[in-house]
Structure 1
Amino acid sequence: MDNEVCLAAIRNHYNHFTKIERQIADYILANSEAVVDMNVAGLAEATGTAGSAVIRFCKSTGYSGFSQFRLSLAMELARRQEPVIPLLSAGDTSREAARKVFDSSVRTLQNTLSMLDFSVVDALIHELTSAGRICIFGVGTSSPIAEDAEYRFLQLGYPASSYRDILFMPVAAGNMGKGDLAIAISHSGRTEATLEALRLAGQRGAVTAAITSYSTSPLAKAADYSLTAYPDDMNYPVEAVSARLSHICILDAIAVILALKGGETAAGRIRNRNDILEGIRKKDES
């Protein structure tokens, strides 16, 4: 478990916690600095739970026990005392602003990798390889990500289509059924059109998956499978810069895993794609 993402890991696992574990999680998220100075008994008393419940919570979050959890939390809080990436300001030079954006993106990608639940990744790979139809939903800044995922899956021979129009999305979702897979992409996890498309696909019997930045969002809760990117807190003047990169990388990683598992069949399809693209380039050059 990465020492920099302790609190993010709690948020990422929140949907899978028991009622008691959520009680502990809520206290830690609200009182993280106080928790660093507590022992197991102290945290159990503060949360109205038992010491055994605290230990189970730590293990559910990905740690070997309370000592490792507390050390990770302390290291994260220590780093926050001196922010690695200062906030953007109107007085930044072009170089300073660009450096902050790049540094924030690198941190977000690293933390997203540390947070990924690979049991969910593997389950989603299985669903993709057996899906009769794959529909990918995304609007706004998630729209080009959905289109890119469609291309990635299509070139490997998977029956993928992306839907970015809020009128077409419910039509496509309503025509899905058992054996199909719906993937919804939303940074906030609260985009109504995307959420409704996912819910409708699920009602029709399709397996549903969410790519979002908030594990407690309505989209994550509505999906059968959910993969969460690190929710970067940089004060961007435009929406979700680093989050978009994380969502792209999650889907790119899934496509690469599919290609590796596809063996010679996938390799043949990629060669075919390359031949087609090379032919197009030659026509453009002539």
Structure 2
Amino acid sequence: MLEAAPVPEPAAAPTSVAGERLSGDAILARTRALLPTLPAALLRVGEQVLSAPAAIARSTILETAERSGTSPATVTRFCRAIGLAGYADLRLAMAEETGRSSSVAGWEIDIGRAISPTDPIDRVASLIATAEIRAIQETMAQLDLEAVERAADAIDAARRVELYGMGGSALMAQKTQLSLHRIGVPTWTWADVHSGLTSGVLLKPGDVAVGISHSGTTRETFEMLSVAASSGATTVAVTSSPEAPLAEVADIVLTTAAHETTFRPAPHASRLPQTIVLDLVYVAVAQRRHEQTIAALKVTADAVSGHRRQLPSKGAQ
């Protein structure tokens, strides 16, 4: 048996071929997003990385190739496919990620474990909470904050904002529409493709269209955002994959990560990370129109205050 190589010294964060500093979270999220697009051999390497990051941190390139049933050259190609210069950067990132994960006290790390019908509820709660925590961490690690700023600038200046999504993504669109509408941004949500296409064709330069799809391959959302783009609107995609068709028709791409668990496939598990990203955009817009936002929040709260039941005062019988 080959002797395991020592874990590389974390002297500096791993960098991409473009010189970008990448965290372990970001590399795992990027791997997960690109996995469906990889050739079979690279796919096996990616699955090995996602299933056993700690083993990658301790292993030579030859050992990783053997475990994934590939070759060292294939492992190197995988590293380059996810934007790293080579295997040394991958090992360093996984060493940092393993160390960070092990320091999360009180939480189970084995989020890939299936939930069985006999699992106690505390175990289920731990697995779900850990999956959500890791998904948010990976989303924040990979999120392009400059893209968030550009999206907020465009929405703040827009004549109108249209949000497109189908199924569960429509719920995310509706939530964002309510938030933006409350601070005075003219916003509409479309979950019906006929209405969305009609809306998109009427947009103009300076308007903003946002398409939400975890996979980035939902045909209806792609079509609606494409029509909006053809009309000259600034287009924003919220998706897990920067290589997805939805991202290809977007001027601005905001990526999210998700961790599946039993009974919660990726589209379901993506809701909280999508909420975080869309809330970040909303808050950035609110910052840009601070005085208007404060005034709008006050008058809208006053408008519904009469429909809230007053709580009894302390000491009341």
Give the aligned residue type for 1:154: H
Q: Percent identity?
A: 26
Q: Provide the aligned length of Structure 1 versus Structure 2.
A: 260
Alpha-carbon distance between aligned partners in 1 of 2:156 and 2:162, rounded to the nearest angstrom: 14
Does residue 1:265 correspond to 2:307, yes or no? no
Tell me the TM-score normalized by structure 2: 0.70
Measured after TM superposition, the shift of residue 179 of structure 1 is: 1.2
Alpha-carbon distance between aligned partners in 1 of 2:226 and 2:245, rounded to the nearest angstrom: 10
Aligned to 1:197: 224
Of 84-93 and 253-262, more deviation after overlay is shown by 84-93
Q: How does 1:117-266 map to 2 (within 5 A)?
A: 117-237=144-264, 240-266=267-293
Higher-helix-fraction structure: 1
Give the aligned residue type for 1:236: F
Alpha-carbon distance between aligned partners in 1 of 2:272 and 2:231, rounded to the nearest angstrom: 31
Q: How does 1:11-160 map to 2 (within 5 A)?
A: 29=46, 37=60, 46=73, 57-58=83-84, 70-76=91-97, 84-85=110-111, 86-160=113-187
Q: CA 1:275–1:185 in 2, change beyond 3 Å: closer, same or farther?
A: same
Measured after TM superposition, the shift of residue 92 of structure 1 is: 2.0
Alpha-carbon distance between aligned partners in 1 of 2:304 and 2:269, rounded to the nearest angstrom: 30
Give the aligned residue type for 2:282: A
* Equivalent position SS for 2:215: coil
Tell me the TM-score normalized by structure 1: 0.76
Cα RMSD, aligned residues only? 3.6
* Equivalent position SS for 2:124: helix
Q: Is the 8 A contact 1:136 1:182 kept in 2?
A: yes
Q: CA 1:214–1:207 in 2, change beyond 3 Å: closer, same or farther?
A: same
Alpha-carbon distance between aligned partners in 1 of 2:242 and 2:98, rounded to the nearest angstrom: 21
Give the aligned residue type for 1:161: W
Larger-gyration structure (1/2):
2
Alpha-carbon distance between aligned partners in 2 of 1:213 and 1:30, rounded to the nearest angstrom: 17
Alpha-carbon distance between aligned partners in 1 of 2:165 and 2:282, rounded to the nearest angstrom: 18
Q: CA 1:215–1:236 in 2, change beyond 3 Å: closer, same or farther?
A: farther
Q: CA 1:28–1:130 in 2, change beyond 3 Å: closer, same or farther?
A: farther
User: Which structure 1 residue ranges, 5 or more long, are not aligned?
Assistant: 15-24, 39-44, 60-64
* Equivalent position SS for 1:100: helix
User: Which structure 2 residue ranges, 5 or more long, are not aligned?
Assistant: 1-21, 36-41, 50-54, 62-71, 103-107, 311-317
Give the aligned residue type for 2:94: L
Alpha-carbon distance between aligned partners in 2 of 1:121 and 1:221, rounded to the nearest angstrom: 17
Q: Is the 8 A contact 2:259 2:266 kept in 1?
A: no
Measured after TM superposition, the shift of residue 87 of structure 1 is: 2.3
Measured after TM superposition, the shift of residue 69 of structure 1 is: 5.3
